[in-house]
Amino acid sequence: MWSFASQTLIHRRELFDRIVQTPNLHGISLLGGEPLQQAQIIWLLEKIRQETELTIFLYTGYSLSELEDKHEWSAVLRDCDVVITGRYQESLRDTNLQWRGSKNQLIVYPPLSRITEQPTQTNEVEVIIDETGKITILGYPETLTDLI
């Protein structure tokens, strides 16, 4: 697995240990690039599922049909709680969708999901201002003025 530092590898066990040692963590989200192209992602999903109570949220650019053709799909269904499928398409952008940015993307709740109640709200935006004044925006705001 790659760390945020360029050219630095993190052993899969070290990554797992960092995740489980994080205080007040309720779940993880895997996204960015294509998580399913990471060689050890299936190991990590299985390990987190077997040894923790953390929920697992996976974003993948693969469509459902592409995932069904991949051998990892059964592990994804077994270990993930929510899977967002499909490539983001700017022409289908919709900021009112929950957890996804374009209308072609689907939310899949696998049969063994630990999430028993599916949320009904629309998209939310979270703004985090840390102690140094750094601002982090999570979600899909239509414009920055929507946040004011």
> Considering the domain boundaries, does residue 147 fall inside one?
no
> Considering the domain boundaries, does residue 133 fall inside one?
no
Higher pLDDT, 98 or 52: 52
> Considering the domain boundaries, does residue 116 fall inside one?
yes
> Considering the domain boundaries, does residue 148 fall inside one?
no
Number of domains in the chain: 1
Per residue in 54-65, pLDDT (tens digit) is 999 999 999 988
Hey, what amino acid is at 7?
Q
pLDDT for residue 126: 75
Report d(CA 87, CA 4) in Å as an integer. Answer: 23
pLDDT for residue 120: 63
What's the domain range around 38? 12-123
> Considering the domain boundaries, does residue 88 fall inside one?
yes
pLDDT for residue 127: 81
pLDDT for residue 108: 92
pLDDT for residue 1: 47
> Considering the domain boundaries, does residue 62 fall inside one?
yes
Higher pLDDT, 76 or 144: 76
Distance of CA 67 to the CA centre of its chain: 16
Residues 24-38 have a mean pLDDT of 88
Higher pLDDT, 31 or 144: 31
User: Given 3-state DSSP classes, what are the helix, strand and coil percentages for the chain, each rounded to the nearest 5?
Assistant: 30, 20, 50
pLDDT for residue 22: 93
> Considering the domain boundaries, does residue 112 fall inside one?
yes
Per residue in 121-146, pLDDT (tens digit) is 565 677 888 889 888 877 666 665 55
3 state SS of 26? coil
Contact present, 138 and 128 (Cβ < 8 Å):
yes
Q: Is the pLDDT of residue 47 over 90?
A: yes
* β partners of residue 29: 57
- Contacts of residue 9, defined as CB under 8 A and 6 or more positions apart, other chains included, come to 1, 2, 3
Count CA within 13 A, CB hemisphere, residue 47.
Answer: 14
| Average pLDDT of every residue of the chain | 84
Higher pLDDT, 33 or 1: 33
Residue 129 corresponds to which tokens in the numbers above?
A: 């201002």
> Considering the domain boundaries, does residue 2 fall inside one?
no
Residue-wise DSSP of 69-117: HSTTHHHHHHH-SEEEES---GGGB-TTSSS-SBTT-EEE--TT-S--S
